[in-house]
Amino acid sequence: MAEDEGQVFYPPRRRGLIFHLLVGVILLGGSLGCLILAFNQPQEGRFVLLLLGSAGLFAPLPWVFYRGYALMNAFYRLERDGLRLRWGLRAEDIPLPEIEWVRPARELGFSLPLPPLIAPGAVLGSRKVAELGTVEFMASEVDALLLVAARDRVFAISPQDGRAFNRAFQRMIELGSLTPLPPYSAQPAAFARRVWDDRPARWFLIAGLILTVLLLIVVALAIPSTPSVSLGFNAQGQPLPPVPGEQVLLLPVLGILIYLVNLLAGIYFYRRESDRPVAFLLWIASAFTPLLLLAAAVILLLS
């Protein structure tokens, strides 16, 4: 690659991807296991507890898989005109003249405070450091952090080869910048606001949320007066043996999971203009699915 075209550096990925994959598989397996056990419990109280356990184990899955996805697509691109940092929905373009210095964190002379809740492959977040100001971490490992000082903050990154990054930075400084990159910053929260500012998207998401909550309220109010219910029919068209009424809670739990999956998948497709119709189809489904589940709940409870 020509020097004018820049050079791309990647963070260490192997350990982080293995960690996030293992955590995701454990959470998903535990969630499915609790769900299967719930429907084999003759006692009503255990069913509710196992159902709550299944939902609790499923809840962090989107966060875990997003962090794995962000790590897999993260990179640092050093160009003659500036530095591009990418980590999931977080993006930062720094013009070369605004980069004041680059140095390893171990040369600071003091221990650099790390953000909370770090994990292999995900050293992310910001810290206020008296000597440096705001330090934003976009790294996968803490062993070889490299600090890039811009005008308003310091970025802590972790290219696989920090020395090669330093050499490339020195070459870019020697070449000089002809047309500096325009400063650019994209935060996940800002992206979420952009989705929220899209009126059709906002109305579909609000409608889906309201209908999902309504489904949960209807089922919760109906369960005390419905001690048992049949959840379907057998091959001969006869009703299945009755089960405790609490098992109808499966419908709002299913509705919540579908809403979350469609919400996150829609956000993923919303990033590109060409894929936005897919995002809207998913969010429309988020509004209509609880309607269908609400109808199913009413039929089951009244039968």
Per-residue pLDDT, 240: 67
pLDDT of 252 reads 86
Nearest one of 179, 182, 190, 176 to 94, comparing CA atoms: 182
pLDDT value for 208? 92
Domain spans of the chain, in order of start: 187-303
Helix or strand or coil: residue 294? helix
> What are the 10-residue block averages of pLDDT along the chain, 303 residues in total?
71 95 95 84 70 86 91 94 92 93 90 91 92 93 92 93 92 86 85 86 93 87 72 66 72 86 87 88 92 84 69
193-199 LR contacts (CB < 8 Å, sep 24+)? 195/267, 195/270
Q: What is the pLDDT of residue 245?
A: 67
Tokens representing residue 101 in the block:
């210095």
Q: What is the pTM of this model?
A: 0.77
- The whole-angstrom separation of Cα 165 and Cα 175 is 15
Strand, helix or coil for residue 191: helix
Ramachandran assignment for 88, one of left (phi > 0), alpha (psi -120 to 50 degrees), beta (any other): left
Q: How far apart are CA 118 and CA 232, in angstroms?
A: 46
58 C-beta neighbours (distance < 10 Å), count:
21
pLDDT at 1: 46
Between CA 10 and CA 4 the distance in angstroms is 19
> Which helix (DSSP H) or strand (DSSP E) does residue 90 occupy?
strand 90-95
**Separation in Å, CA 15 to CA 119, 152, 229, 282:** 10, 31, 48, 33
pLDDT tens digits, 32-49:
998 888 777 666 567 778
- DSSP lists the bridge partners of residue 9 as 76
CA–CA gap between residue 12 and residue 221 (Å, rounded)? 51
- How far is it, in rounded angstroms, from Cα 142 to Cα 144? 6
Tens digits of residue pLDDT in 61-104: 888 998 999 999 999 999 989 999 999 889 999 999 999 999 99
User: What order of strands is seen across the sheet that includes strand 146-149?
Assistant: 101-104, 146-149, 154-157, 133-139, 123-129
Q: What is the pLDDT of residue 234?
A: 64
Q: What torsion do the CA atoms of 23, 28, 29, 31 make, to the nearest 10 degrees?
A: 120
